Structure 1
Amino acid sequence: MTEKKILGILAIVFGGVGLAFSWVPFINNMAFILGIVGVVLGVIAIITNLKSKKTLALIGTVISILSLIIVLTTQNLYSNQLNKAFSGDSTPNSQKESSEKATNKSVSNSNDPSKNTWTFKHDVFSAGIMTYKFTKSEVRDSIENGKKTLVIYADVTNNTDSEQDPSNIYTVMHAFQKTDTANKNLIPGMVKYDENSNNPIQQYTDALNDKLLGKKTTSVALVYSLENNNPVTVKFDNADFTKIGEKQYDVK
């Protein structure tokens, strides 16, 4: 009997799209849903074609299952990488060993900041080894003609004894602004230079990208390129990319 192809083709389409985006952070959450739909359609197609060919149904099912596997694998990988970025493991092993020998460590790691629960409360984002206290915000002209930027200032503290990278916050802090058709994920921007060809917040953006010494605090600035004058919602994730808080900024 001839294979009934519609469900098999749909399974291939959903599975294929899911597979294409299965490796992309955040977007692969949607890819996971597409993969599930593809598997369901593929299984139904197989059942429908029990007494006929099942080529397309099997292909769609296999592709969809593969997309689910890749999503789960990559999300675990990204989560581990993020945990590593926000942990105290950035110090070379040799340096760690020599430091431990020099201090003759015998105490437990009960005070290890990387074990702390991530929270966002009262404008303070506690991200394990790093703490960001948001102090103020402002709207400035963008380096792109006719556009504006949202500048968010914060005092960041390194809770460890090792150097850390404050800019890792961009992986767990995301700004959104609604347009006529979508809730846009804003990208990092750059402030327009002044009449002396200087960037007025350069010292703060430099501090964000510099390695922060252990137990030190510095002032930084995060810059997002705006789409319009609508309010901006900033969402904060933990190391598992689960939202733990949000804050809204008026940019008018």
Structure 2
Amino acid sequence: MSFPPYPQEMPVEGVYSTVPPQGQFGVATVVKPLSPLAITALVLGIISLLLSWIPILHNLIFILALIATVVAILAVVQTRPDMTHRGSGIAITSLVISILAIVVVFGSQAMYPKANGKAFGAPFVSSRASKGAATSDVVQLENGKVTIEVKKVEESVDDQEGEPTVAVTLKITNNDTSSLNPFAYYVEVSQNKAALDSAVYSDNLMPEGYEPFADLEELPAGKSMTLVKGYVLRDAAAPVTLMIDSTVPSTKAFKKEYSLQ
């Protein structure tokens, strides 16, 4: 019969102290590092939620909240018990906040135009003569699933800051069997190779046919809609270049220059 070894005796300042041998109590617990994805998703989600009520920022905040949602999903996977990082609670919280931000964006964008309509009535359209010309250019996207007809590109009313703008009128037709996501295509207007910023109009002065946030609405299968988009001009006399393409850039993008004179 054998006995366990006695603890080692070590002299400490003239006296003896018993210290258990190395490894007596097993291997020390390793603490997992906190997931950087979880922290990133939480920050992006909180920013998205805080700014989701601002109508002017709806497009930007939707994209930011979408990114936060994707990062949060990756963080949830990264912080599973069998993975190398901790922070599962933070990851799940950030996912909930990001999804809530997306819901708020869509909810507020639906309420804002209605509130404006009740408060201000029908928008006033300036009687100032528009400069530009009607066109009949037709763009086919997604192998014919989407048809975009350029109806007009013309100088329009000033924005809420008093800056001159150009209004682009498009007729969009969904030839597919499912609804058209508004982010499946994009429209860009530029001058001198510099992209123009989207115009923000006052509630009582806007282009004819213009509806705020109409470009964020899904288009049902087999339906058409007329969309008016406004852009702030850098030079009231210079021509503008219109580009229309799928969200994933292709070699078949539509690009044409229009004169405003």
Q: Same fold (TM over 0.5)?
A: no
TM-score, normalised with respect to structure 1: 0.42
TM-score, normalisation: structure 2: 0.41
Instruction: Considering fraction of residues, name the structure with more helix.
Output: 1
- Higher alpha-carbon Rg: 2
